[in-house]
Each structure stands twice: as C-alpha cells, then as structure tokens.
Amino acid sequence: AQSVTQLDSQVPVFEEAPVELRCNYSSSVSVYLFWYVQYPNQGLQLLLKYLSGSTLVKGINGFEAEFNKSQTSFHLRKPSVHISDTAEYFCAVGADYGGSQGNLIFGKGTKLSVKP
C-alpha cells in the first residue's frame, strides 16, 4: 500500500519570497506522483506530475518539483511567489503496476498563504 505525508499543514510566506512545500511518500512498488492546487471553492487542478524520466519536473505557474527516490520525497518549489499563489496544495501518489494504475492516495494538504 502507498501513503503520503505532507509535512506542513500551513505555510505563510511573503510575496516574492521562495517557498518549498514538502511531500514524502512510502510505497513498495514504483510510483507516479502529482501535485494539485485547489483555489477557494474550486476543484483540484493539476500543477505537475512525475511518471518517469527526469527527476526535475516543471509545472504551471512557475512551480517545479524534484523526485528523490532515495529520500522518498517529491517537494514542490517556487523561487518567487505571488499573492495569487494563495491556495491549498495537495501531493498525491499512485502505484505504477507497469501499464495499469493504482488509485491515487492524497496527502492532507498544505495551505499556502502569501502575504504582501
């Protein structure tokens, strides 16, 4: 079975500062990983994904994440945040059964609050 832990429930930062949202996972098989963003009163929107290949993945809105297999981590980063990045961010992990997918397991979310 897979599990995912988002290490911070809330992250306050000032505008134009860098931010890192942490995500650790556990799995006995290969995984694929996602970061989703949820703006208030909306559904989840995909930020970026790791399926295979390069461990550094770039997503929308200037976000990137690095897959670290030895640390079982998939931390999300942005070098300079904007007020509009204020939202809740979810890390999700799924098992890769080599052509078929397992269901996604979501973390509990990290609320990013960007202050002027």
Partner 1 sequence: NAGVTQTPKFRILKIGQSMTLQCTQDMNHNYMYWYRQDPGMGLKLIYYSVGAGITDKGEVPNGYNVSRSTTEDFPLRLELAAPSQTSVYFCASSYSNRLAGSYEQYFGPGTRLTVT
- Which residues here bind partner 1, judged by CB under 8 A? 9, 32, 34, 36, 41-46, 49, 51, 90, 94, 99-101, 103-104, 106-109
Nearest residue to 91 via CA among 20, 34, 50: 34
Q: Which is nearer to partner 1, 48 or 114 (CB)?
A: 48
Q: Which is nearer to partner 1, 15 or 22 (CB)?
A: 22
Q: Which is nearer to partner 1, 34 or 63 (CB)?
A: 34
Nearest residue to 112 via CA among 33, 26, 47: 47
Least distance CB 16 / partner 1 (angstroms): 28
The answer to whether 71 and 58 are in contact (CB under 8 A) is no
Least distance CB 107 / partner 1 (angstroms): 6
Least distance CB 19 / partner 1 (angstroms): 20
Torsion of CA 96, 4, 46, 101, to 10 degrees: 20
CA dist., res. 11 & res. 54, Å (int): 27
